[in-house]
Structure 1
Amino acid sequence: MKLNGTELDEQIVDFSRLTEIMNDYGFVLAGQWDYERATYDYKFELLKDVYYLRVQAYAIEGDLGGRHARVKLLTPLLGKHYYPHGVEYGEGEQFPNNVLQKSKQLLHNISTALKALPTD
């Protein structure tokens, strides 16, 4: 499910600073990047279900392996994990209210932190 209206869509930011902020809010980059794209995931583990809040970015300047890359953020996604098939991000998925609220709060906090960064 796309989470529109988060103020993250199309935002351009320094990749290193973005990674620091995402780490501060519990998102994991792990090995989910290459030199052009990055994916940050926040994992929700409930009793029987697992959900992922995903924020993706792609390089518009430099490459992500370098020191001074700038990235553009895409619309965040919320998905449910189905073992053994993977994560579904379809619009027809149903999400618990607490997962939706926590996702919106996390994205708001990230947006606020990004706005507070000094402009280059």
Structure 2
Amino acid sequence: MIIILKLQTDIEGKKACFGQMRDHLQGLGYVLGGGWDYDRGNFDSILWREGGETIYLRIPFLVYKGMLDEYNTLVEFQTPYIIKHVVNTGLDRDEGALLSATGLSQFQEPLDTDGYIRDKNKWEEIGQQAVQQVIQNIVHV
């Protein structure tokens, strides 16, 4: 089980041009999450990282006009959330070790499968502030 902290923000339901948002958010440290499809995706940002622990902000969206690989695709933002991932940073002797060591494997087994987030109020506040920064840069369509 992974702990997810859903955030209460004003981004849900807002619409934007995918390409403009992607370009702008890259400058703020966001990436298009690896699990995207032509009708949905996520903008992900690292809020904190230490050792094998990482806390992410994920801002999901749905495509409502176009396909995700096109610049002018229109997207609608969904409820953002905070998620924590803990990976084993020790020596890995299996066949996926090279991929994991180079960061190419997104499927490494986490050390803490519960992904417990300490000080939830702190991370909710940090996440809400980060989402507010994204909202301020949405060019409405």
Same fold per superposition (TM over 0.5): yes
Which of the residues 77, 80, 87 maps onto 2:84?
80
In the aligned structure 2, how far is the partner of 1:87 from the partner of 1:73? 28
Note the alpha carbon deviations across 1:64-86, whole angstroms, 9 max, x for none: 12232101111001011144248
Contact 2:11 2:78 in 1 (8 A): yes
Deviation at 1:47, TM superposition (A): 5.3
User: Aligned residue for 1:109?
Assistant: 133
Q: Which runs of 5+ in 2 are unaligned?
A: 88-108
TM-score, reference length from structure 2: 0.67
How many residues align structurally? 114
1:42, distance to aligned residue in structure 2 (A): 1.0
Q: Is the 8 A contact 2:19 2:70 kept in 1?
A: no
Q: CA deviation at 1:98?
A: 5.1
RMSD: 2.6
In the alignment, the residues of structure 2 paired with residue 81 and residue 11 of structure 1 have an alpha-carbon distance, to the nearest angstrom, of 28
Identity of counterpart residues, as a percentage? 22
Unaligned ranges ≥5, structure 1: none
Amino acid at match of 1:76: P
Larger Rg belongs to? 2
Equivalent positions of 1:47-86 (< 5 A) are 49-83=53-87, 84-85=109-110
